A and B are shown apart, each in its own frame.
Chain A
Amino acid sequence: MAKVVVDAMAMQRALTRITYEIIERNKGVDDLVILGIKTRGVYLARRIASRLQQLENVTVPVGDLDITSYRDDIEHDAATDPTVSAANINFSVAGKKVILVDDVLYTGRTIRAAMSAVMDLGRPKSINLAVLVDRGHRELPIRADFVGKNIPSSQRERIKVSVSEIDDRDAVEIQQA
């Protein structure tokens, strides 16, 4: 049984608010780069970048980060941590303010791996994290700077994010296991 907790309108608003909060926190968009974590984080990252473009008339570089081993919000394999590698990043992150974008923040292991991947590319000025959903159950000392919606969840539940670019619609659903 799936229950929609964020509908299309609410998702649009969440991304809009996150965009404004990024401007507030960074005092503008200078030196910003946005990195989306595959798969859905990439589309969210592009939407945030297009909003920044609309508002500030500045093109913020957007890149992708690829998770190779597993999605920790879908299956939990305690034996291996995810590895994240840079893909489609044709700009330098050295000295930049990096905004990592992911759809769901869960254990924090993906984000830790993503941060390592970014550090391997160069030394950014800062790394911030924007997520559409924070569902709790962290296993590492990681928190998001920009949160679309906090959804306290049980570990048995599955949080499913759909984005219209690759799914049939924009929505966040909770599915009972």
Chain B
Amino acid sequence: MAKRYLILEDGSAYAGEGFGAGATTSGEVISNLNLLGYQETITDQIYHNQIIIFAQPAIGNVGINHDSYESILPTAKGMVVRDVTNISTNRLSRLSLDEFLQQHNIPGISGIDTRHLIRKLRKMDGPVKGSIVDVADAHAFDQLNATVLTNRQVDQVATPKPYPNPDTGKNVVVIDFGLKHGILRQLSERRCNVTVLPWTASAQDVLNLDPDGVLLSTGPGSPLDLGEGVLEMIRAVQAEIPLFAIGLGHELFALANGAKLEALPVEYHGSSHPIRRIITNDIIYATQGQGYAVSAKTIDRDRLITTYVDLINGTVQGLRHRDYPAFSVQFFADGAPGPHESRDLFDEFMEAMTARREG
């Protein structure tokens, strides 16, 4: 394999072996601490335009299968790993990770001490830009420093047109901010007749479909870049129809109800934080991926109830509206990848829809 480099905007360069595509790419460098689920991670649109460093040292050992895609066209900018394992004996495996990355023109680099790198990144301020390049020379650093990170991620990955995912059960409208397929999979398992709408849909567009429930999806980037229109839509819809929001959707739900966000000192992507479910005072684990968190002190307690809290960093992980059956979680309740124990939030959503129709 060819020698390649990961270079960072602070001028550092890390030599490794290339795998996957031979492309030269740049993007924000983020750390993923999950032990499992590299396929879900690399295909999740929240990693649009990002270079993902994996703390788990052996990546690729279950290949790529049909069941773990979180998007059709992954748009991550690269994978940085300690060891890449291109031998898979997993019965579900259809492709090797290497072949998959080649198909999607995503470069990988192995032989990097990723845990050391992740510790270093934690000490650096704000988003860190990096590139995967063939030669770490002055030209490569010039190119990297000239790279401007986009703030139009949602527009770039979310659907521009409505589409259906038909079934015979409850009518659910999913607002797509760059959704992960896990959300659609959970709704399909519950026989929901889904219509996916672009994130620019108005409240009237949603209400015209007379849905039993509305789900605001996960997505990449900052919710602050999406403007006021989507917040107005959320305020109008939550008053009429049961609403469930996840990830970026949760952040928007909080903004729509008067709370503010704070950028985390370091983005957190992992599944090892215990999360307290306040109402029953028990602990769950879930895959989390967030650069922002709802600022607890800005929550208007007359409008929102805090329902889940991260016990490691203290961040708000779930909210519920006081007046409406509208609730949200920061973590990925679809459990793709990661612990499945929060999947019953989808059952909660189903039961909220049933209660509304029967009540």
Q: Which residues of A contact B (CB under 8 A)?
A: 9-10, 12-14, 16-17, 19-21, 23-24, 27-28, 51, 54-56, 147, 150
Contact = CB atoms under 8 A, between A and B. Distances in A.
A20 B307 CA distance: 11
Majority SS at the chain A contact face: helix
B280 A147 contact: no
Contacts of A54: 278-281
A54 B280 CA distance: 7
Nearest to A24: B323
A147 B348 CA distance: 14
A10 B279 contact: no
A51 B280 contact: yes
A14 B307 CA distance: 16
Interface string B318-359: 001011110100000000000000001001100110010011
A150 B324 contact: no
Contacts of A24: 322-325
B325 A13 contact: no
Contacts of A10: 347
A43 B324 CA distance: 27
Contact of A147 (B281, B307, B352, B355): B355
Interface string B273-303: 0000011110000000000000000000000
Given A51-B280, A150-B358, 20 more contacts: A9-B344, A9-B347, A12-B280, A13-B348, A14-B351, A16-B348, A17-B352, A17-B355, A19-B279, A20-B305, A20-B320, A20-B327, A21-B325, A24-B323, A24-B324, A24-B325, A28-B322, A54-B280, A54-B281, A147-B355
Given A13-B344, A147-B358, A147-B359, A23 B351 contact: no
B279 A55 contact: yes
Interface residues of B, number: 20
Nearest 6 Cβ contacts at the A-B interface? A51-B279, A54-B279, A54-B281, A16-B279, A13-B348, A54-B278
23 contacts: A9-B344, A12-B280, A13-B344, A13-B347, A13-B348, A16-B279, A16-B280, A17-B351, A19-B279, A21-B325, A21-B355, A23-B305, A23-B322, A24-B323, A24-B325, A27-B322, A28-B322, A54-B280, A54-B281, A55-B278, A56-B305, A147-B355, A147-B358
A55 B301 CA distance: 11
A151 B126 CA distance: 54
A55 B280 contact: no
A82 to B, nearest CB: 26
B251 to A, nearest CB: 21
B180 to A, nearest CB: 23
A51 B325 CA distance: 17
B318 to A, nearest CB: 12
Interface in B87-138: none
Nearest to B281: A54
Nearest to B323: A24
Nearest to B321: A24
Nearest to B301: A56
Contacts of A13: 344, 347-348, 351
Contacts of B351: 13-14, 17
Contacts of A51: 279-280
A35 B344 CA distance: 29
A51 B277 CA distance: 11
B136 to A, nearest CB: 53
Contacts of A12: 280
A14 to B, nearest CB: 7
A20 B280 CA distance: 12
Contact of B325 (A9, A20, A27): A20
Nearest to B305: A55
Nearest to B348: A13
A82 B347 CA distance: 36
A20 B322 CA distance: 8
